[in-house]
Structure 1
Amino acid sequence: MRLGITMFATDRTVAAHELAVAAEERGFSSLYLPEHTHIPVSRRTSAPASPEASGTGEGRLKGTSGDATLPEEYARTLDPLVALAAAAAVTSTITLGTGILLPAQREPLVTAKAVATLQHLARGRFTLGMGFGWNKEEAADHGVVWSARRDQAREHVLAMRALWRDEVAVFTGEHVSFEPSWAWPKADVPVLLGGAAGPKLFDAIAEYGDGWLPIGGAGIREAQPRLRLACEKAGRDPSTLSIIPFGTLPTPAKLEYYASLGIEEVVLRVQGGTREEVLPLLDSYRKYLTSA
């Protein structure tokens, strides 16, 4: 079983390209970086009850509404595509991914070009992990209607796939449309959907995804039959989809459990910090590489 890592890369942590080199040198299979363009200070939306944040010692943000706080790393997050492009230039084998990118909040023509360029520079090593978001104020600032965010994300991904695939790409939808157009480079980009198990997510994976990133990794055994059924209904072969537990804090028992489910890769959560703080943690995780 392969083991990757994910960390909130910020302007105060070890540089993403240095982290990628260190992870590759130690035998980790992947590096995933999250995305938040900004965090409105209102804090009307509470943080998700998930291990998305690594809980660094950078402090917490307290907004102008209520007592909700948030780890400061959310507001300091680097753009993942830019950071991963830097990582691509100094690595050769490690998979580089977003975990997760928010396509509903991104203009798809520009994002498709950025992703295709990154895939070109990375020589096919990029994976697009995506999700639908949790911060209503952040989405609203991008013009996203919260109730429509899943539909908007879907159209943006389908439009980007057309641009990556077709010599002359065209797309007509409710949220994005463009006339027949040329756009290079072309790219084969795996798309993994993050989120909790449920019919909406599994239907989306079956329609336009290549796999599932269950955040934290809980509930996979119970969810596998439902994901298989969604794929079969959509005419997809379930065996072609990846399930990659994401943001996991490792233990030998947990990794053995995932292996018993046929899981082939797990992405481990790394607490953000300086180079001096993070590299010893990577070294401590190396023992799981020999047992995975």
Structure 2
Amino acid sequence: MQIGYTVPQYGAFADPDFIRQASTDLEAMGYNSLWAGDRIMVPLAPSDPYPGGDGTIPPAFSTFFDPLTALTLAAVSTREVRLGTSTLNALWQPPVLLARMLTSLDLLSRGRLDVGIGLGWLRDEYTATGVPWQGRGARLEETLDVMEAAWGSEVVEHKGTLWTVPPSHIDLKPFQRPRPPILLAGYTPPALERIGRRADGWLCVPLPMPYLTSLWEVALQSAARADRDPSALRMVVRINPMITDSPAPDDQVPYVGTVRQIGDYLLAVAEAGAHEAFVDLQTTSSSRDQFMDVAHQLITRLHAG
């Protein structure tokens, strides 16, 4: 299983110099991938609760470095590590512009980009960006249509419900052909059906194993119905643990635990079929030193098996 870590990006970690140095150091430690998330703001009276903990949005989300800029800094600071978004809220910008940004980053990194897309959970962010909350699934489908046309067609043309692209030359194409891998988030059967039908993998969080495997089976069956190879789909698991000095109760892992417990959980996830997992400590680390120290301890634990 591939192991990743997040690019320092928000709260106390949203510093360009730290992003560059941490990216270089994390690659040297042996991490396979670096990931960036996408938030805009922390409303004073949120429209929706945060999907974790007690529902309170982490205050660190009020300082959030742009994900594609963070990955650009990571790209020029590294050589081989893959670079992913988990997740990019792709509906907040026109798809022809998003396709150009992602193409540029894929070229800059010489084909190391994984495009992880989600729909978000906070209606306030849709209000702030002028995008309707309703109809997100259909908007995502057409967004993917436009981006795939921009990436793959010699003459790009699209006429849909939301966007029209007249026949045009868009000759800047991604380094990866026919396009960078697309990973989608979601936890409903329609979301997993979409993953199997047109994506390259699933971005998920720790779930009870029966629920996780049942959703994954929806994606695999959808891929088969679409005459795609189900075995080519990737499952990528994100965890946001609170690291403790003393062992946590088993029922709190991987949300809380020692480095050993979190490492053991990641090894178990690999045995359960996950292709990749990555760790984000930015809401639970007290300092940059701890952020990097845990990264070193964790990869050492995983390499030791």
TM range, normalised to the smaller chain?
0.7 to 0.9
Q: Tell me the CA shift for residue 275 of structure 1.
A: 3.1
Say yes or no: does 1:31 pair with 2:44: no
How many residues are matched? 275
Corresponding residue of 2:167? 180
Partner Cα distance (1:254, 1:26) in 2 = 20
Native 8 Å contact 2:31 2:81 kept in 1: yes
Partner of 2:267: 256
1:127 aligns to what?
Answer: 114
Change (3 A) 1:8 1:44: farther
Distance 2:204 2:56 in 1: 24
In the TM superposition, what whole-angstrom CA distance separates every residue of 1:51-89 from its partner, at most 9, and x where no partner exists?
xxxxxxxxxxxxxxxx97421222211111011111111
Query: Distance between the aligned counterparts of 2:43 and 2:153, measured in 1?
Result: 38
Matched letter for residue 144 of structure 1: V
Residue 125 of structure 2 corresponds to which residue in structure 1? Answer: 138
Residues 1:174 and 1:8: Cα distance change in structure 2 (over 3 Å): farther
* Cα distance change on mapping 1:26 and 1:245 into 2, 3 Å: same
- So what's the TM-score if we normalise by structure 2? 0.83
Is 1:241 equivalent to 2:252 in the alignment?
A: no
TM-score of the superposition, structure 1-length normalised? Answer: 0.86
1: distance between equivalents of 2:207 and 2:132? 29
CA RMSD, aligned part only? 2.2
Q: Distance in 2 between matches of 1:110 and 1:35?
A: 17
Deviation at 1:19, TM superposition (A): 2.1
Deviation at 1:283, TM superposition (A): 1.3
Counterpart residue number, 2:22: 19
What CA distance in whole angstroms lies between the structure 2 residues aligned with 1:186 and 1:267? 28
How far off is 1:291 after superposition?
Answer: 4.1
User: 1:46: which partner in 2?
Assistant: 49
AA of the residue aligned to 2:9 = A
In the alignment, which residue of structure 2 is the partner of 1:2?
2
Distance 1:92 1:163, change over 3 A: same
Report the CA distance shift for 1:36/1:251 in structure 2 as closer, same or farther (over 3 A). Answer: closer
Q: Which of 71, 84, 87 is residue 71 of structure 2 equivalent to? A: 84
**Greater alpha carbon shift after TM alignment, 226-235 vs 268-277:** 268-277
Distance 1:242 1:266, change over 3 A: same
Answer yes or no: is the 8 Å Cα contact 1:4–1:268 preserved in 2. yes
Question: Residue in 2 aligned with 1:54?
Answer: none
Q: 1:105 aligns with which of 72, 92, 102?
A: 92
Judged with a 3 Å threshold, the aligned counterparts in structure 2 of structure 1 residues 224 and 45 are, in CA distance, closer, same or farther, namely: closer
Rounded Cα–Cα distance in structure 2 between residues aligned with 1:290 and 1:73: 31
Given that 1:6 and 1:99 are in contact with CA atoms closer than 8 Å, whether structure 2 keeps it comes out as no
Unaligned 5+ segments in structure 2 are: 242-260
Question: Are 2:90 and 2:118, in contact at CA under 8 Å, matched by a contact in 1?
Answer: yes
Deviations 1:259-292 (A, max 9, x none): 2233232112223554323111111112233145
- Residue 56 of structure 1 is matched in structure 2 by none
Q: 1:263 to 1:44 in 2, by over 3 A?
A: closer
Secondary structure of the equivalent of 1:128? Answer: strand
Cα distance in structure 1, aligned partners of 2:94 and 2:41: 16
Q: Is the 8 A contact 2:183 2:202 kept in 1?
A: yes
How far did residue 211 of structure 1 move? 0.3
**Per-residue Cα deviation, 1:11-49 (whole angstroms, up to 9, x for no partner):** 631532222111101000011110113344331221113
Alignment partner of 1:117 is 2:104: yes
Contact 2:39–2:64, Cα closer than 8 Å, also in 1: yes
Q: Name the structure 2 match of 1:213.
A: 203
Q: Give the 3-state SS of the residue equivalent to 2:165 in structure 1.
A: strand
Alignment of 1:167 onto 2:154: yes
Distance in 1 (CA, whole Å) between partners of 2:63 and 2:153 is: 36
Partner of 1:63: none
Q: Please say if residues 117 and 182 of structure 2, whose CA atoms lie closer than 8 Å, have aligned partners that are also in contact.
A: yes
SS of residue paired to 1:12 = helix
Structural mapping, 1:142-157, within 5 Å? 142-157=129-144
